[in-house]
Amino acid sequence: MTVRVFNGENGQPLRTLAGHDDMVTALGMDTAGQMVASGSDMGVLRFWNVADGASRLRLAGHQGAVNDVVLLDEQQGVLSAGEDGTIRRWRLPLAPRGHAGHAMPVGVLAASRDGALLLSGSADKSVRIWNRVDGAAAGTLADHQDVVSAIAISSKKDLVVSGDQAGVVYAWPQAEGATASRLLGHAGRIIGLGFADKEKQLLSASDNGVVRWWDLPLVLPREIVQQDPVVSSLLLGKDGTTTIVGAGEAGARLVNAGTGEAIRLLEGQQGAVTSVTLSADQKTAAAGTDQGTVQLWKTDNGEAAGTFRGHVGKVTAVVLGKQLGQVFTAGTDGTVRAWEMAPASKLHQDRLGEVTAIAFSADGSMVAMGIPIQDRAGILVRDLQSGKVLYELLGHQAPVTAVAFSNDGSRIVSGSEDKTLRAWDLKDAKFAQLVSLEHPGPMTAVSFNKDGTQVFGASSDNAIHQWSLAEGSETRVLADTPRR
C-alpha cells in the first residue's frame, strides 16, 4: 500500500509515499524525475512530488486494477492501462479520455518519444496503436499467439516491437506493405524490450533471466516458393545463389535463391530423393534416394550424367569430390562409398550401424561420420585414401545427427539428438573436447565460421544459434520468419 523512492546511484531509500488504501499495481515517473505516479488494485491513481513526498492528486476511473501508468514527456498528460480493458488519457486535472478496442485486460503501455502515438498490449493477444491527440485507432497488430507482455517503439516510429508470455518477440516495420518478423530464442515470458546503440540493436529480456540482442535492421531469410509437398534436403551452391532442393518422389529442383524462381527440374532418379549436392563448379548435381541409388545430372540442361547402385537402404548423404567423376555417399546400411564413373569401389564397410551424419574436410583428405562405436553414439574419422581410422570421438548420449569440419581440418563440430553441440580439437593428442553446449532441441545442422572460432547450430526450435568456442557462450540467435 506504499511506494518507496530510492537513490539510483547508491540504492539508499529516500522516502516512503503513503496514501493508497489497497495494493499498488503500477508505477511511473516523469522524464525529469520530479513526479511519481502510482496505480492501485482498486483503479485509483495517485501523484507525488519526489522532492518532498507530498501527495499532489488522486484520480479514479478504472473499473479494476491499474496495470501500467506512463507520464508523457510534456508532463501535462498521463496514460493508464487497466484490468477493465481500457486505456485512459488524463489531462491533469481533467477527466480522462478512454481508448476502447481491446476485448480483454490491457497489461502494458508505451508511447512514442514525441508523444504522438500510444501503444497498448493486451491479454487478447493484440497490440493496438492510437493517435494520442484524438484517441483514434491507428493500427492493430494481431499475430501473437499468447498474452502480450511487453511493447516498445523506435524514436522514428518506423518499428514497433512486442513480446508475449510464450517468449516470442515480433518486430513490426511500419512501412506500407511490410510484414512482421518473428524472433525466437527466449524460453520465458518477455518482460522488457528496448533499443540500444543508436537503435542499431534491439534488446529483449525474459523472466528466466536471459537478455538477447538483435542487430537492426533485421536480416531476414528470403522465402523460396516450393511447388512440391515434400522438401527432403537442400544445398546452396558456391555462387551463393544456385540452390538444389530435394523434392522426394518429384526428384530435385535447381532454384535461384535470390529470386525464388525455379531454374530447372531434375528427374529420372529411382525412388524418392533423400539427399542432394552440387559440384564446386556447379556443372553437376547429384541426389541420393531411399532405394540406395545415386543419380547425377548436368545442371546446364538437366540431362542424366550417371547412376550408381550399391547401397542397401536409404542414401543419407552425397558429396561430389574435387576430381571429376568422383562421388562419396553414405547410407543407412552403415557404409560410406567412393564412386567414379567407372564401376563403384567400396571405401569401407564397418557394419557398425546406421551412418546418421557425414562430412568431408575441405581438402578432401578426411571423412567424419556419425555412427555407433562400441554401442555408443560416436564420430568416426577416416583417411579417405587409405580408409584408416584416424579418430574415434565419444561423448554424445544419443545418435549424432550433424557433423562438420573447420576450414583447416583441425576441428570438428557435432550435433546430436541429446540436444548438445560438441566441438573437438583433432590436434590434441587426447582428442580434447573443446566445449559442450546445451541446445533447446535435437540438433539438425552444425557449421563453423571461416576461422573456426565460432560454431553454428540449428535444431527443432526453428532458430540458428551461434556460439564462441573461446568463451563457450552463446553470442547470437537467428530466428525464423513465418509468412503472414
Residue 68 backbone class (left: φ over 0; alpha: ψ -120 to 50; beta: rest): beta
Contact assessment for residue 358 and residue 316, using Cβ atoms and an 8 Å cutoff = yes
**How far is Cα 275 from Cα 288, in angstroms, rounded to an integer?**
5
Residue type, 107: G
Q: 158 to each of 141, 168, 205, 217, 358, how far by Cα in Å?
A: 14, 20, 21, 11, 45
Among 129, 161, 168, residue whose Cα is nearest residue 146: 168
Question: pLDDT value at position 352?
Answer: 56
Residues 6+ apart with CB under 8 A from 185: 167, 212, 461, 463, 465, 477, 479
Does any domain span residue 225?
A: no
Which alpha helices (H) appear in 181-271, and where do they start and end? none
Question: pLDDT value at position 359?
Answer: 87
Does any domain span residue 42?
A: yes
Q: Is the pLDDT of residue 411 over 80?
A: yes
Quote the DSSP letter at residue 248.
B
Q: State the chain's mean pLDDT as an integer.
A: 82
Judged by average pLDDT, the poorest of 91-95, 130-134, 207-211, 381-385 is 91-95
Final residue of a structural domain among 215, 246, 265? 215
Share of the chain above pLDDT 70, in %: 86
Final residue of a structural domain among 215, 249, 282? 215
Judged by average pLDDT, the poorest of 149-153, 158-162, 440-444 is 440-444
Question: pLDDT value at position 218?
Answer: 78
CB atoms within 10 A of CB 277: 24
Residue showing cell 493477444: 125
Whether 139 and 271 share a structural domain: no
Does any domain span residue 221?
A: no
> The domain spanning residue 134 has which CATH number?
2.130.10.10
DSSP character string of 380-416: EEEETTT--EEEEEE--SS-EEEEEE-TTSSEEEEEE
- Grade residue 431 by pLDDT with cuts at 50, 70 and 90: low
Whether 31 and 158 share a structural domain: yes
Whether 185 and 282 share a structural domain: no
Question: pLDDT value at position 136?
Answer: 79
The sign of the torsion formed by the CA atoms of 291, 296, 297, 299 equals: positive
Whether 346 and 407 share a structural domain: yes
What the block records as the C-alpha cell of 156 is 522514428
Q: Which residues form the domain of 191?
A: 2-215
The sign of the torsion formed by the CA atoms of 95, 98, 104, 109 equals: negative
Q: Is the pLDDT of residue 231 over 90?
A: no
Does any domain span residue 222?
A: no
Does any domain span residue 307?
A: yes
- Grade residue 166 by pLDDT with cuts at 50, 70 and 90: very high
Whether 148 and 267 share a structural domain: no
Question: pLDDT value at position 193?
Answer: 93
Share of the chain above pLDDT 90, in %: 18
The residue-averaged pLDDT of 198-217 equals: 88
Whether 199 and 248 share a structural domain: no
Tell me if residue 72 falls in helix, strand or coil: coil
Q: 6 to each of 22, 66, 73, 214, 219, how far by Cα in Å?
A: 21, 22, 21, 32, 41
> Which of 17-26, 230-239, 315-324 tops mean pLDDT?
17-26
Percentages helix, strand, coil for the chain, rounded to the nearest 5? 0, 55, 45
**How far is Cα 314 from Cα 335, in angstroms, rounded to an integer?**
11
Whether 96 and 128 share a structural domain: yes
Q: ω before 93 within 30° of 0 (cis)?
A: yes
Does any domain span residue 138?
A: yes
- Grade residue 269 by pLDDT with cuts at 50, 70 and 90: confident
Quote the number of domains for the chain: 2
The residue-averaged pLDDT of 404-421 equals: 90
Final residue of a structural domain among 215, 243, 259? 215
Whether 336 and 404 share a structural domain: yes
Whether 301 and 421 share a structural domain: yes
The residue-averaged pLDDT of 306-330 equals: 82
Q: Is the pLDDT of residue 342 over 60?
A: no
pLDDT digits (tens, 9 = 90+) for 60-116: 889 999 999 998 865 567 899 999 999 998 877 654 566 777 888 989 989 888 888
For the chain, the first-to-last Cα distance in angstroms comes to 45
Whether 247 and 176 share a structural domain: no
Does any domain span residue 220?
A: no
Whether 171 and 255 share a structural domain: no
Does any domain span residue 189?
A: yes
Whether 362 and 403 share a structural domain: yes
Residue 461 backbone class (left: φ over 0; alpha: ψ -120 to 50; beta: rest): alpha
Q: How many residues does the chain have?
A: 484
